[in-house]
Chains A and B, each alone.
Chain A
Amino acid sequence: MRAKQCALKQGFINCHDCGYLVKITQQLSSCPRCHSHLHERKPHSLQRTCALLLSSFFLYIPANIFPIMTVTQFGTGDAHTIAGGIIELIDGGMIPIGLLVLVASILVPSSKLIGISLLLLSVHFRWKINARRWTFMYRVIAFIGRWSMLDIFMISILVDLVDFTGVQIIAGPAAIAFAAVVILTMFAAENFDPRLLWDNQ
C-alpha cells in the first residue's frame, strides 16, 4: 500500500454506490459497473446537508415542547413530553432504562445536530482540523442516528398494548416532529461528504 494521494487529483472518481474506481474521461458519466451517475463528490453536499439540518433544528423545538404521549386513566389524561417520560422512569426507580431513553431521545439527537453543524462549519470556513479525528466523529454521528427511533417504536408498542376501556395510551403531536427530526438528521448525515474534510487539508 503506497501512493498516499487523493484519487480525484490523480484523475479518478470513486463510484458512490459500488465503490468502483473510474478513470475520468470526457464521455463517461455513469459507472461502468453499476450504471449509477458518477460524481466527484456527493452533489451539493453542503447545501443539502445544511437545508436538512435547519429543518431538523426547527422541528426539534415542537418535538420537545409538545407531549409525545398521553396516558388516559378513567377520564383523566396525563400528557408526557420526551423529558417528562424520562423523569418519570427515573423517579419510578427504573434508572438504567431511564438513562437509556435519555441517551437515545435527548443526547443522541442534540449531539447529532451540533456535530453536523460543526462538520458543515469546518468545511465551509476551512478550519485547520485533524481530519482523521473529524472523520471518526462523522462516522459516529452516522452510526448513532438510527438508535433515536427507540422512542418512536416504543410509542407504537405502548399505544397498541395499553388499549383497554378506561386505560389508554395515545400518541401526541411531538411524536411526528420527533420522527421527522430523526429521519431528517439521518438524511443530513448521509448527504454530508466526509471527503470534503480532507480536500481542505
Chain B
Amino acid sequence: MNSTSYQACPECDLLIDLVQPEIGEKIHCPRCGLLLLRPRKQSIERTFALSIAGLILFVPANFLPMVGITLLGKANTGILLSGVISLFNENMWPVSIVVFLASILFPLAHISLSLLISGHLYFNRCNRNLVSWMRWMHHLDEWVMLEVYMLSIIVACVKLMAISPLIIGWGLYAFIALIIVTALLTSSLDKELFWQRIEQLSRDNNHAS
C-alpha cells in the first residue's frame, strides 16, 4: 500500500484513498464532513504577494491613530499598542500581555512566517528551518485574533458615540485592509501543497550534495 495516496481524516481518523483534487475542487471527509483538501490556484505566488502586502500594511495599522474621542475640550486617540500600555499601567499586566499577543505579536509572527516560507518556496531555496516554521505557523493559526479585535472596535465605538463625537484615523483603514489581506492569505495558503513542496525541496537538496 503506497501511503502517499492515502490520507486519514484528522477529526474522525477515516482512512481515505484520495484522488488528487483539481484546482477549485473541495474534498470533504465522507464520514464526518470535514473539509480535507482545497487546492488553490498559484497558492505559493499568492501567499508570497499577500504576505508582503500584509507586512507593509502592518506598519500604518500599528502606528497611525485608529479611533479617538473628544471630551472636555481634549482629544484622545489610540493605537493598538496604547491600549496594551494603558492596561499595563493599571496593573492589569496579565490582560495586557494577552491583548498584545493576540492583536500584535502573533499576527506579525504569522505574516512573517508565511512570508519566509512562501519566499523560500517561490525561489526554490532550501532551508532546514522550513519545517519548524511551518509547524510554528500551524500552531499560531488559532491565536491570531485581528477580526475579533475589529468587532471590539465597532462595539467600543457604539458605546463611545453616546458620550462624544468619534475621530476616525487612517490607522483604522489600514487595520481593515490588514484584516482583508490576512483573510485572503489564510484562504490562499494550501498547507498540504506547502508540505509537499518542502519535502521535495529537501529531497532535491540531499541529492545535490
Separation of A180 and B98 alpha carbons in the complex (Å): 9
Q: Please name all residues of chain A whose beta carbon is closer than 8 Å to the beta carbon of B149 when the two chains form the complex.
A: 149, 153
Distance from B161 Cβ to chain A, minimum over Cβ atoms (Å) = 9
**Are B199 and A33 in contact, with the CB atoms below 8 A?**
yes
Query: Does B3 interact with chain A (Cβ within 8 Å)?
Result: yes
User: Which single residue of chain B is at the shortest CB-CB distance from A17?
Assistant: B135
> Given that A7-B8, A135-B32, A150-B155 are contacting pairs, would A183 and B98 also be in contact in the complex, using a CB cutoff of 8 Å?
yes
**Are A135 and B18 in contact, with the CB atoms below 8 A?**
no
Query: Does B108 interact with chain A (Cβ within 8 Å)?
Result: no
Give B8-48 as 1s and 0s: 1 = Cβ < 8 Å from A's Cβ atoms. Answer: 11111111111100000000001111100000000000000
Which stretch, B89-97, B115-123, B180-188, touches the partner chain A?
B89-97
Query: Does B72 interact with chain A (Cβ within 8 Å)?
Result: yes
Query: Does A97 interact with chain B (Cβ within 8 Å)?
Result: yes
Q: Please name all residues of chain B whose beta carbon is closer than 8 Å to the beta carbon of A92 when the two chains form the complex.
A: 162
Query: Does A2 interact with chain B (Cβ within 8 Å)?
Result: yes
Q: Please name all residues of chain B whose beta carbon is closer than 8 Å to the beta carbon of A162 when the two chains form the complex.
A: 69, 71, 76, 160, 163
**Are A154 and B152 in contact, with the CB atoms below 8 A?**
yes
Separation of A152 and B3 alpha carbons in the complex (Å): 46
Which stretch, A49-57, A110-118, A121-129, A190-198, touches the partner chain B?
A190-198
**Are B17 and A2 in contact, with the CB atoms below 8 A?**
yes
- Of B11, B103, B155, the residue contacting A100 (CB under 8 A) is B155
Q: Please name all residues of chain B whose beta carbon is closer than 8 Å to the beta carbon of A21 when the two chains form the complex.
A: 3, 6-8
Q: Please name all residues of chain A whose beta carbon is closer than 8 Å to the beta carbon of B55 when the two chains form the complex.
A: none
> Given that A12-B8, A33-B199, A35-B131 are contacting pairs, would A157 and B95 also be in contact in the complex, using a CB cutoff of 8 Å?
no
**Are B69 and A161 in contact, with the CB atoms below 8 A?**
yes
> Given that A162-B160, A175-B95 are contacting pairs, would A157 and B83 also be in contact in the complex, using a CB cutoff of 8 Å?
yes
Query: Does A79 interact with chain B (Cβ within 8 Å)?
Result: no
Separation of A4 and B142 alpha carbons in the complex (Å): 30
**Are B87 and A153 in contact, with the CB atoms below 8 A?**
no
> Given that A19-B10, A33-B195, A198-B13 are contacting pairs, would A156 and B148 also be in contact in the complex, using a CB cutoff of 8 Å?
no
User: Which single residue of chain B is at the shortest CB-CB distance from A8?
Assistant: B13
